Chains A and B, each alone.
Chain A
Amino acid sequence: MNDILLKNINRPNSIEIETYLKDGGYKSLEKALKEYTSKEVVDIVQKSGLRGRGGAGFPTGKKWEFAAADKNTPRYLLCNADEGEPGTFKDRPIIEKDPHQLLEGIIISGYAIGAAACYIYIRGEYDYGAKVLEKAIAQAYDKGFLGKKILGKKFDYDIYVHKGAGAYVCGEETALIESLEGKRGQSRIKPPFPVNVGVWGKPTVINNVETLANVSHIIKNGPEWFAKMGPEKSPGPKIYSVSGHVNKPDNYELVMGTPLKDLIYKYAGGIKDGKNLKAVIPGGASTPVLKPEHIDVKMDYESVGAVGSMLGSGAVVVMDESVCMVGVARRLLKFFAHESCGKCSPCREGTHWLVQILDRITANEGSIEDIDLMLDICDNIKGKTFCPLGDGAINPVLSTIKHFREEYLMHIEEKRCPVGYQHSRWCL
């Protein structure tokens, strides 16, 4: 546990390049540049089975292959450090505590796809993380791991840090591109895909921080080592962020496919104050809520999908019996309505309508038709929006209606909250 990606975070001076070098740091970069062609690096990552850790789980090597195949240049790598999916806090320790692990991955990945530069798009609130990265980048230039003719090879490469300014949707790859180009971060319709037409119209690969942090380890230990770890279809280590009503909320780096039950009870120390588990969100706010009967599920893309939710970012939010699930849906929909970029009407209007309905149901002023009305609105958002934010936004509503319909009925028919919660302004 915590022995690959999070191995360094508690070491003294973990952010210094000397600390990293002493432990064999940047050796993978040397190996990649000296022993492999760019194409071979792409093949190795393909063979490893690494899939994107940003939420969608797309095979990383495939994405790289598409971008490398587009002959248009320059090409760019964008590191997605926007980390905004509520419940997710896994990229932050990599950025703040082990920046060189990330940079080494970014340099190798840039070499693989033939990129001219990488922009790390970091959420504006991670001001400290941005400073850590800036300093680490300067150190890497000093050592000749960045700049012109890296390690004597015909490979020039730069890394820049670009700060976002507070917009969840900018974590979505096309909105991120718009934002990097200096615009309002509103998603673009796909196709064209960023691998062909990305930032400044050039082929662009976008990868999550955790995805890129895996790369140096794959080069070091070989693709077979990685592919053998965990389930065949989604191998490798995974950082699960566990929060909410558990005794030990934290990041836990475990092998993909670790049972949700172990995460909650074995690693996160079980439910706080001896209460009972009521519900779990397995992969961040935009993934459907699960019930206690589902917690035997293995935490990998296929298995979580099979029980009707998604692995997403691996952000596990645990809720005990004191929580009103209608309140949870309301709180999350307020978030999505606030964060909708407003470009397409189903998401822009629909999320606000859902909030209005949830407001009145939690205030015990709803009617029984409201449930069907919400389902209808969700149906008119699903699959009808430019970007996946819309599809994610309806999940808290659909899954709480599916699994906790009785709580809606209690609010509507009995005019009371199932857990006696006082209707409140801001929070739940």
Chain B
Amino acid sequence: MAETETKKKGYAFSEEGMRKLKGLMKDYPSTDALLLPALYIAQDEFGYLDDAALQYVADLLKAPRSKVYGVATYYTMYKTKPTGRHLIQVCTNLSCSLLGAEHILNYLENKLGIKVGETTPDNRFTLITVECLGSCGTAPMMQINDTYYENLAEEGIDRILEGLK
């Protein structure tokens, strides 16, 4: 997408976002290293990273769009598609599976009326599976946005979801 098109979509970092990015510049000997942090800022500010958002980051860092796209699609934590307000990430790696991750997933699918990979019609929840998040000793677990929920049991899940509007 051309730069003009980005502008048309109105994407630009807020003052705060710009300040964050500028603040990071002194941390690295090369501006190339700002790409991952810049994508996080973009994701925070724009919700997810569509083509226009990626173009904006590319322009900002004077990086090739192909590189920005390549990086954004390589890492699982960058969202190139919109998600619901609360991204439910259920770990299904070994330790969590041994202790019932599958049941947690089934419960969530039933409760929310969606399958893994889908978003509820009210845009409140998106349900995905993830690999080990370093909570294997408190399995099964899920992460919702940035927060960990550990030692999950079906009974506790309703209460967790109710708190998330």
Chain A residues in the interface with B (C-beta under 8 A): 83-89, 91-92, 123-128, 158, 160, 162-168, 179-185, 200, 241-245, 249-251, 281, 285, 315, 317, 319, 323, 328, 331-332, 335, 338-339, 424, 426-428
Closest to B135 in A: A89
* Alpha-carbon separation in the docked complex, A161 to B101 (Å): 32
Can you give 26 contacting A-B residue pairs, CB < 8 Å? A86-B95, A89-B136, A91-B134, A162-B33, A163-B36, A165-B40, A165-B76, A166-B130, A168-B131, A181-B30, A182-B30, A183-B35, A183-B71, A244-B94, A244-B99, A245-B99, A249-B136, A249-B137, A249-B139, A250-B137, A285-B93, A317-B98, A335-B131, A427-B102, A428-B94, A428-B98
Contact A160 to B40, CB < 8 A, known contacts A315-B136, A331-B93 = no
A165 adjacent to B77 (CB under 8 Å): yes
Closest to A167 in B: B75
Chain A residues positioned under 8 Å from B133 (CB to CB): 125
Would you give the shortest CB distance from B80 to chain A, in whole angstroms? Answer: 12
- Residue B120 at the chain A interface, CB threshold 8 Å: no
Contact A323 to B71, CB < 8 A, known contacts A165-B78, A180-B33, A317-B136 = no
Q: Which of B71-94 contact A (CB under 8 A)?
A: 71, 74-78, 92-94
Q: Which of B1-57 contact A (CB under 8 A)?
A: 27-30, 32-37, 39-40
Contact A241 to B76, CB < 8 A, known contacts A86-B94, A182-B32 = no
Q: Which of B55-76 contact A (CB under 8 A)?
A: 67, 70-71, 74-76
* Alpha-carbon separation in the docked complex, A69 to B134 (Å): 36
* Alpha-carbon separation in the docked complex, A91 to B99 (Å): 22
Chain B residues positioned under 8 Å from A158 (CB to CB): 27
B137 adjacent to A242 (CB under 8 Å): yes
A89 adjacent to B33 (CB under 8 Å): no
- Residue B161 at the chain A interface, CB threshold 8 Å: no
B76 adjacent to A167 (CB under 8 Å): yes
* Alpha-carbon separation in the docked complex, A338 to B74 (Å): 11
Would you give the shortest CB distance from B130 to chain A, in whole angstroms? Answer: 8
B35 adjacent to A185 (CB under 8 Å): no
Of A88, A165, A331, the most chain B CB neighbours within 10 A belong to: A165
Would you give the shortest CB distance from B90 to chain A, in whole angstroms? Answer: 8
A88 adjacent to B40 (CB under 8 Å): no
* Alpha-carbon separation in the docked complex, A242 to B95 (Å): 10
A243 adjacent to B136 (CB under 8 Å): yes
* Alpha-carbon separation in the docked complex, A331 to B92 (Å): 9
Chain A residues positioned under 8 Å from B105 (CB to CB): 426-427
Contact A200 to B30, CB < 8 A, known contacts A84-B132, A165-B39 = yes
Contact A166 to B76, CB < 8 A, known contacts A123-B134, A125-B134, A184-B71 = yes
- Residue B116 at the chain A interface, CB threshold 8 Å: yes
Contact A323 to B136, CB < 8 A, known contacts A124-B77, A127-B146, A335-B93 = no
A243 adjacent to B78 (CB under 8 Å): no
Contact A338 to B131, CB < 8 A, known contacts A179-B36, A249-B138, A331-B93 = yes
Chain B residues positioned under 8 Å from A167 (CB to CB): 74-76
Chain A residues positioned under 8 Å from B134 (CB to CB): 83-84, 88-89, 91-92, 123, 125-126
The count of chain B contact residues (Cβ–Cβ below 8 Å) is 46
Chain B residues positioned under 8 Å from A165 (CB to CB): 36, 39-40, 75-78
Chain B residues positioned under 8 Å from A242 (CB to CB): 137
Chain A residues positioned under 8 Å from B148 (CB to CB): 128
Which of B30, B77, B92 is in CB contact (< 8 Å) with A426?
Answer: B92
* Alpha-carbon separation in the docked complex, A83 to B98 (Å): 20
Contact A285 to B146, CB < 8 A, known contacts A181-B30, A249-B136, A317-B136 = no
B136 adjacent to A241 (CB under 8 Å): yes
B74 adjacent to A427 (CB under 8 Å): no
Chain A residues positioned under 8 Å from B94 (CB to CB): 86-87, 244, 281, 285, 317, 328, 331-332, 428
* Alpha-carbon separation in the docked complex, A332 to B136 (Å): 14
Chain B residues positioned under 8 Å from A339 (CB to CB): 131
Chain A residues positioned under 8 Å from B139 (CB to CB): 243, 249
* Alpha-carbon separation in the docked complex, A427 to B92 (Å): 6
* Alpha-carbon separation in the docked complex, A315 to B135 (Å): 12
Would you give the shortest CB distance from A189 to chain B, in whole angstroms? Answer: 19
Which of A87, A123, A124, A162 is in CB contact (< 8 Å) with B136?
Answer: A87
Closest to A85 in B: B132
Closest to A170 in B: B75
B98 adjacent to A166 (CB under 8 Å): no
A166 adjacent to B77 (CB under 8 Å): yes
Chain B residues positioned under 8 Å from A331 (CB to CB): 92-94, 97
- A160-B28, A331-B97 are known contacts; what are 6 more A-B pairs with Cβ within 8 Å? A163-B37, A200-B29, A328-B94, A426-B105, A428-B97, A428-B102
* Alpha-carbon separation in the docked complex, A206 to B40 (Å): 24
Would you give the shortest CB distance from B74 to chain A, in whole angstroms? Answer: 4
